[in-house]
Structure 1
Amino acid sequence: MLSLSSGFLSRMAIDAQIDKLFRQTLILSKLFTKSWGRPTTLKELYLFKKECTSQRLMGDFVDEFRPNVIVKKERRSNGVYCGEFRTVSPHSLRFPAHYPAPVDQCPFTVVMPERGADRVCIHLAGTGDHSYWRREYGLATPLLEQRTASIIVPNPFYGERRPDGQYRSSLHNVSDLFVMGVSLISECLFILNWAKERYGFKHAAISGVSMGGFMASLATSNIPYAVGCVPLLSAVSAGPSYCRGVLREAIPWDVLERELRDRDYVRRLEEIPGCDWIHRAHENAARNNESLARSMMDILMTEFTHLYTYPTPVYPQATVALTARSDGYIMHDGLPMQDELWKGSEMRYIERGHVTSYVFCQNIFRECINRSFEKLEQR
């Protein structure tokens, strides 16, 4: 028993060390090196969230701004159908200024059994995942055995949607992260509606690892019908990771602090209707003895990323969330777990770290996806 316990603790220590090395690699490239974002963009994002996504009204928005879908390529081989398509983010049709080229373009790939499928899962990209390969061969291809189709979507600001001058995952502006979120909410809903009509899918789910899992939760909150949600190795808010955890050292706080000392910039933020970010940031900074920039980051991350500011899904029982107990990358930091926030959802745990789970536990990810579909089918 002692040797087993020692081996288990040793593996946990190794996993933690791997996560630490991963963190150190991440902070070599800085995040948010330019700005908090244009005040006009932050204003439009804030008001749109207040009027639309916090009310689960994205369905009405997508119906109004319905983009075309272009077929790039379709092929069939060894009983598998693969279709490559392109559309534009519905959100970009109303707010084009939020999208430096080619962020508004939304390519996606459909992989399914040639004879059809009843189930389809959208797979969103995790932090640093700029290709289709990992999701296609780790998730989509094995899921074909359960007659489950997959749709692989690259995140805005990632892969072929990365704007000129952006290095890998190093978003230029804090607002870019919020644009990514609202874009994926609109894209997932539009693509699911299109795919159900084109292919006849009966059940749908949205999944993702790490940041992709968080984005899957955001998207699910605005689907006006029952879908599964499978957030893997993610939290209910991005705030702790950016403000106190893994990504804190990757942020040039001095750049963001200077912008909050710019009177014209601050004035334009203060003019946003119903918005008191600047006032609260000063109060919190004084109370917590921290910089104004860190206080502002915490406020904005809570405003735009915390799941409690979005609707609970229509059928939360089809949510199956997975958390790594030795995760040294994703911070929960006193936040509620997914099953506490979305009553009826299922919480699963794995005795690994963040990176080792991502590399070695794809089979468990697939189990969670299948479990979500089982719950939908039993409904």
Structure 2
Amino acid sequence: MVTVNLGILHYVLDHVYGAFVHRTRLTTPFFSKGWGGSKLDLLENMIKQLFPEVIGQGMPPSLIQPLWRTVWETKTACLREGVFQTPCNEQLMSALPPESHTARVAFLAPKLLQPQKMACVVHLAGTGDHTFERRLRLGGPLLKENIATMVLESPFYGQRRPRLQRGAKLLCVSDLLLLGRATIEEARSLLYWLETEAGFGKTGVCGLSMGGVHAAMVGSLHPTPVATLPFLSPHSAVVAFCEGILKHGTAWEALREDAADTATLTLEQVRERMRSVLSLTDVTRFPVPKNPNAVIFVAATDDGYIPKHSVLELQKAWPGSEVRWVTGGHVSSFLLHNDAFRRAIIDSLNRLD
């Protein structure tokens, strides 16, 4: 009789999926146009300035006024879509592609909304999540728990994708930092709108993979306690692109050519530069959220993309936070453990005053 180790199968599934998506020539690799030139320098300086600023007084969210239209409604529920101009400052706006200047959100709530008695969670996009549908399916059943769902379409994704970009494969390293910084500004503004304009009693932010990194940053920077739920996410983009499976989908040769002005760089030197740039996304450098007890990480036991040590580093940096483990890999957990994600959302919101 042959005993099958399910953990190994989940881990292998991640690598098989990764090999198909990232090692074949079916799609272009990440960062095929290089580092992003002066745009990268601008973003590095802006993000370096972010850390002392948030550790001090914090950045107040921007006030936005989304324009809403009703997509459908039933006797009990209503789905609206809204648009608003991204609240990024002039420097960021000039760096963002024009297609990303207008943000889009979907808002799933009861038809007869009583926000003071309800909670709402903003769901952020993982790598490759271009539409609202998957996150609406995750949040839909939570209506029975008096929890509404707001889904943000990321810059560089969906209708906000630049014309020359194919799929989720960002053209430059600077695009990754731009995507993150703009997503954080927009998500914090949506939380502020939910709290001050819509009047929700409790709010939260969650995301899968890359969306989980952004959710952790938003929860850290928001001026009031929010439920913070990073799912299947690392503590830094360094883990994803320099240690995990995505390193096989990165255009290292193009990055080397773009970086070599006068001297020839080795691939190892290029990878070290990538580590240095992406260290700016290290969430352990961000302040501890206002209520760390309302931070729940959900991680997979056999994740080929995100190693366990990365999840535990962030938990250690945020005392009081909780890690919950689901059995599976990155891909299988993404598909099979929505109930665990929903349970974490409910529990995290219950830990808010």
- Common fold by TM > 0.5: yes
- The structure-2 alpha-carbon separation of the partners of 1:209 and 1:335, relative to structure 1 and needing over 3 Å to count, comes to closer
Tell me how far apart the structure 1 counterparts of residues 120 and 64 of structure 2 sit (CA, whole Å). 21
Deviates more, 1:252-261 or 1:293-302: 252-261
Cross-structure match for 2:74: 77
**2:15 corresponds to 1:20:** yes
Tell me how far apart the structure 1 counterparts of residues 169 and 58 of structure 2 sit (CA, whole Å). 28
Tell me how far apart the structure 2 counterparts of residues 50 and 26 of structure 1 sit (CA, whole Å). 33
Cross-structure match for 2:332: 356
Q: Secondary structure, in 3 states, of the residue corresponding to 2:153?
A: coil
Tell me how far apart the structure 2 counterparts of residues 213 and 127 of structure 1 sit (CA, whole Å). 10
**2:282 corresponds to 1:300:** no
| CA-CA distance at 1:42 after TM superposition | 2.5
Deviates more, 1:330-339 or 1:91-100: 330-339
- 292, 295, 303: which one pairs with 1:319? 295
| CA displacement 1:75-121 (0-9 Å, x = unmatched) | 53221122211012211544222111211221001111123242010
| CA-CA distance at 1:53 after TM superposition | 5.3
Cross-structure match for 2:232: 233
| CA-CA distance at 1:67 after TM superposition | 4.6
Q: Unpaired runs of 5+ in structure 2?
A: none
> Contact 2:92 / 2:178 at 8 angstroms: preserved in 1?
no
Cross-structure match for 1:205: 204
> Contact 1:227 / 1:318 at 8 angstroms: preserved in 2?
yes
Deviates more, 1:43-52 or 1:359-368: 43-52
Q: Secondary structure, in 3 states, of the residue corresponding to 2:245?
A: coil
Tell me how far apart the structure 1 counterparts of residues 52 and 225 of structure 2 sit (CA, whole Å). 17
Tell me how far apart the structure 1 counterparts of residues 82 and 123 of structure 2 sit (CA, whole Å). 15
Cross-structure match for 2:30: 31
| CA-CA distance at 1:353 after TM superposition | 1.1
Letter in 2 for 1:101: P
Cross-structure match for 2:136: 136
Cross-structure match for 1:165: 164
Tell me how far apart the structure 2 counterparts of residues 213 and 38 of structure 1 sit (CA, whole Å). 28
- The structure-2 alpha-carbon separation of the partners of 1:294 and 1:52, relative to structure 1 and needing over 3 Å to count, comes to closer
| CA displacement 1:313-343 (0-9 Å, x = unmatched) | 1111110001101111223566743321111
> Contact 1:53 / 1:222 at 8 angstroms: preserved in 2?
no
Q: Cα RMSD over matched residues?
A: 2.2
TM-score (norm 2): 0.90
Q: Secondary structure, in 3 states, of the residue corresponding to 1:207?
A: strand
Give matches, 1:39-58, under 5 Å. Answer: 39=38, 41-52=39-50, 54-56=52-54
| CA-CA distance at 1:373 after TM superposition | 0.5
- The structure-2 alpha-carbon separation of the partners of 1:373 and 1:341, relative to structure 1 and needing over 3 Å to count, comes to same
Tell me how far apart the structure 1 counterparts of residues 226 and 311 of structure 2 sit (CA, whole Å). 24
Give matches, 1:53-64, under 5 Å. Answer: 54-56=52-54, 59-60=59-60, 62-63=61-62
Cross-structure match for 1:274: none
Q: Secondary structure, in 3 states, of the residue corresponding to 2:306?
A: coil
Cross-structure match for 2:183: 184
- The structure-2 alpha-carbon separation of the partners of 1:339 and 1:299, relative to structure 1 and needing over 3 Å to count, comes to same
Cross-structure match for 1:127: 127
Cross-structure match for 1:276: none
- The structure-2 alpha-carbon separation of the partners of 1:35 and 1:54, relative to structure 1 and needing over 3 Å to count, comes to farther
> Contact 1:208 / 1:231 at 8 angstroms: preserved in 2?
yes
Q: Secondary structure, in 3 states, of the residue corresponding to 2:103?
A: strand
Letter in 1 for 2:136: E
Q: Unpaired runs of 5+ in structure 1?
A: 267-281
Q: Secondary structure, in 3 states, of the residue corresponding to 2:100?
A: coil
Q: Secondary structure, in 3 states, of the residue corresponding to 1:153?
A: strand
